[in-house]
Amino acid sequence: MIKKPVFPLLAAILFLGSCAMLQSVVKSTFPYTATMVIPASAKVDEPQTALSIGNSYDQDFTKDGNNAGKISEVRIVSAKLESKDPSDYNIGNISSLRVYMGKSDGSDEVMVAIRKDIVPTSGNSITLDLDNSHFLDELVRQPSVRIRMVYRLRKAAATDVSLKVSLGIGSYPAN
Q: What is the CATH number of the domain that holds 112?
A: 2.60.120
Mean pLDDT of the residues in the chain: 82
67, pLDDT greater than 90: no
* Residue among 104, 61, 101 at smallest CA distance from 79: 101
Quick check: 135 and 4 in contact, CB under 8 A?
no
**What is the domain count for the chain?**
1
pLDDT tens for 7-63 read: 665 565 555 445 544 444 444 456 889 999 999 999 999 999 999 998 876 554 343
Q: What is the pLDDT of residue 60?
A: 40
Pairing of strands 129-130, 145-153: unpaired
Report the distance separating Cα 92 and Cα 166, nearest Å. Answer: 18
Q: What is the pLDDT of residue 25?
A: 47
164, pLDDT greater than 80: yes
pLDDT tens for 71-116 read: 678 889 999 999 999 999 999 999 999 999 999 998 999 999 999 9
Q: Domain range holding 89?
A: 3-173
Alpha carbon of residue 37 to chain centroid: 16
